[in-house]
Amino acid sequence: MKYSLILFLFFLSISCSNTKNQNAIVEEEEIVQPPNFYYGADLSYVNEMEGCNAVYKNANNVIQDPYTIFKEAGANLVRVRLWHNPTWTQYSNYEDVKETILKAKAEGMHVLLDFHYSDNWADPSKQEIPAAWLSELNNTEALGDLLYNYTFETLNNLSKLNLLPEMVQVGNEINPMILQHGELQWPIDWDRNSYLLNKGIKAIRDISALKNKEIGVMLHIAQPENGLWWFEQATQNGVTDFDWIGLSYYPKWSEYDLTNLSVPLKALIATYNKRLMIVETAYPFTLEDIDTAGNILGEDALIPNYPATEQGQLDFLNKLKEIIEFSGGEGLIYWEPAWVSSSCSTLWGQGSHWDNATLFDHNNKANLGMTFYNASLNK
């Protein structure tokens, strides 16, 4: 009897072990091959919009999960922002970003994770240090350790859930020096800036090696003309271990239009031998404002031959994609195509400041601009 019990327990342990291994295999992240061109969508606002009871409809006017809408349209990359500790909102924190990555990967899309290294928006006008790090503002070495540990631990936690992103941004629109407080300091202190950026890069490289997964490192600058001087200075100061040049391109704020945009794009690719992607762009499909939150992209955002119509929006995206490919670039991400109007408020007003520049009409139905993604389905 004792011998039979031992045999039973032995075979039971083998069975449990096999079941555990099978479950582990099922739970492993599916490897999605990189596309020839990234057709991306920044969906950082989607979870919040759904939390505000917004619904999304596909081109057939049927309510559908927004991630599925983008996937079925042809999007193959989701970009998502991460704030350090945004006490003023429940979104764009780690838990929210984790949910976004889970949904994106469930649809078979790649992910670009955008570390803002701030508790709020980081962009060319502000690079505010997280409040939790403020005591180390003038201690570059200690600040570098905080940045490294935060980046590493965030990615390591995502890895445990099989949610590692395919690409990671070290900062968002980092035209100025990162991790500042209050009024921006110019010129850039490159001893400090390069040390901090390289600490972030090292954290990504270390996770990549530890987890045996390739993760592309991206540095993101607003507007191509700024990329020209910024990457020159960065390279001269030892910031060279990155894979992607990421650029924001909004004609409203750039000295380059669609007739000469290829000039800086080609120059950046040729000079630094890096991959290049436009990670932010947008264009209005209407000038109508349907809520009390003023629209950021108004008539001053329009360019000749591209009216504020759904067709004008689509034509702009197709032309921009053509220019990027012609220049040697490998991707185009639409910024906040699902930031529709809702009952929720931003820091500046109720509704959306982008409702006239989404890829959904004012009834939240996928508009003609959404068909931009269709080209990826034919490749």
SS3 letters across the chain:
CHHHHHHHHHHHHHHHHHHHHHHHHHHCCCCCCCCCCEEEEECCCHHHHHHCCCCCECCCCCECCHHHHHHHHCCCEEEEEECCCCCCCCCCCHHHHHHHHHHHHHCCCEEEEEECCCCCCCECCECECCHHHHHHCCCHHHHHHHHHHHHHHHHHHHHHCCCCCCEEEECCCCCCCCCECCCCCCCCCHHHHHHHHHHHHHHHHHHHHHHCCCCEEEEEEECHHHHHHHHHHHHHCCCCCCCEEEEECCHHHCCCCCCCCHHHHHHHHHHHCCEEEEEECCCCCCCCCCCCCCCCCCHHHCECCECCCHHHHHHHHHHHHHHHHHHCCCEEEECCCCCCCCCCECCCCECCCCCCCCCECCCCEECHHHHHHHHHHHC
Query: Rounded distance, CA 151 to CA 133, Å?
Result: 14
Q: Which residue has the tokens 């004609």?
A: 251
173 is catalytic: yes
* Length in residues, the chain: 379
Catalytic residue among 48, 72, 128, 173: 173
Helices 140-160 and 190-211 meet at what angle, rounded to 10? 20
Nearest to 212 by CA among 146, 162, 271: 162
Gap between the terminal Cα atoms of the chain: 65
214 is catalytic: no
Query: Rounded distance, CA 23 to CA 6, Å?
Result: 26
Positions annotated as catalytic residues are 173, 280
